[in-house]
């Protein structure tokens, strides 16, 4: 039997949904008999791709950076910082396979895959609309208010907490994605293994809300907090705006066994004009992402550097906001 390896952005709701939608497309339009196996990819300092992961008869990457490996068959991504090097970008531009697609104007990779596969291959993604819509809301920060994002009353937001917070190796690849392929979100959220994990993580989520409330430093429209001593990088990125609605941007330092992270985000509910591209800022330090949310990954023992970088970004964002106020006056 033909085996397809699907590599996806691990511990990310959009990454998991993108893998599920790609699976439906592949089975409907390419090879219904193929076996699809999943492998999560994470951003970290240094080499992102172990050549051994491309072990399928065909290999796909969804919602993650480009690889110029000749083993890569399919690729879909929507991040501004999709290419590690200019050589990778040029390799993509020269590709003639018609199986590698990129468009940073899409808020979510899930919706991008649904659009491209419909336009290019005639795939009907209508039965997957709930998945596509929620991936676009969550990855594109299109929640109607911070309460919806933080209080997690919807099955999709509950699954997001589980996907982002579960630390069991292969949990998203082996548990979440197979369920996303066959069940609606409410049924998945109600599964005992998901409910138990959610309840544990939600308690930790409430503790992080209190921690960010105590440690957050809001000045000149930019919120900064450091939770590197907690030993985990996963926290709900909308909590800062839930607690500090006056924040236009936030910069956070966190740390885990895999990396030290500087996360940079913007408040979608604050009407202050946001003229600065966060992905472009983070690219200077080897990171990237989207214009409105981005991050930098450093080695796990490089906390001092992470804090230095975070303070440089905080100063730049505060200066930009001050300049904007002056221009409006």
Buried b (16+ CB within 10 A) or exposed e, 17-51: bbbbbbbbbbeeebeeebebebbbbebbbeeebee
Q: Which two tokens stand for residue 115?
A: 């659009």
Distance CA 225, CA 211 (A): 9
Structural domain spans, the chain: 3-192, 216-328
Which of 3.90.1640, 1.10.10, 3.30.40, 3.20.20 would CATH assign to domain 3-192?
Answer: 3.90.1640
Residue with tokens 């193929």: 34
List the chain pLDDT tens, one digit each, 329 residues: 899 999 999 999 999 999 999 999 999 999 999 999 999 998 766 556 788 899 999 999 999 999 999 999 999 999 998 998 999 999 999 999 999 999 999 999 999 999 999 999 999 999 999 999 999 999 999 999 999 999 999 999 999 999 998 888 899 999 999 999 999 999 999 999 999 999 999 999 999 999 999 999 999 999 999 999 987 766 899 999 999 999 999 999 999 888 899 999 999 999 999 999 999 999 999 999 999 999 999 998 899 999 999 999 999 999 999 987 533 33
Distance CA 58, CA 74 (A): 8
The CATH architecture annotation of domain 216-328 reads Roll (3.10)
């Amino acid at each position: 039997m033909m085996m397809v390896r699907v590599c996806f952005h691990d511990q990310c709701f959009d990454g998991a949904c993108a893998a599920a939608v790609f699976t439906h497309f592949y089975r409907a339009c390419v090879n219904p008999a193929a076996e699809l196996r999943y492998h999560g990819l994470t951003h970290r300092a240094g080499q992102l791709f172990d050549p051994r992961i491309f072990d399928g008869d065909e290999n796909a990457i969804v919602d993650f950076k480009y690889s110029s490996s000749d083993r890569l068959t399919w690729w879909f991504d929507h991040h501004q910082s999709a290419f590690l090097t200019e050589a990778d970008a040029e390799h993509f531009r020269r590709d003639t396979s018609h199986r590698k697609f990129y468009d940073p104007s899409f808020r979510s990779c899930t919706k991008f895959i649904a659009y491209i596969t419909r336009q290019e291959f005639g795939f009907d993604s209508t039965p997957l609309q709930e998945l596509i819509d929620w991936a676009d809301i969550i990855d594109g920060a299109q929640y109607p208010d911070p309460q919806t994002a933080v209080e997690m009353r919807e099955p999709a937001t509950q699954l997001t907490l589980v996907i982002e917070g579960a630390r069991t190796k292969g949990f998203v690849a082996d548990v979440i994605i197979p369920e996303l392929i066959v069940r609606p979100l409410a049924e998945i959220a109600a599964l005992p293994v998901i409910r138990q994990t959610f309840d544990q993580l939600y308690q930790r989520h409430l503790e992080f809300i209190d921690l960010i409330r105590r440690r957050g430093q809001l000045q000149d429209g930019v919120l900064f907090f450091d939770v590197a001593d907690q030993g985990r990088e996963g926290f709900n990125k909308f909590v800062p705006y839930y607690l500090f609605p006056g924040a236009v941007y936030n910069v956070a330092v966190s740390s885990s066994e895999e990396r030290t992270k500087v996360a940079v985000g913007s408040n979608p509910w604050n009407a202050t004009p946001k003229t600065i591209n966060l992905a472009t800022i983070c690219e200077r330090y080897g990171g990237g992402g989207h214009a409105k949310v981005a991050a930098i990954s450093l080695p796990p023992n490089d906390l001092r550097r992470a804090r230095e970088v975070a303070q440089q970004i905080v100063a730049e964002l505060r200066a930009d906001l001050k300049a904007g106020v002056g221009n409006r006056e």
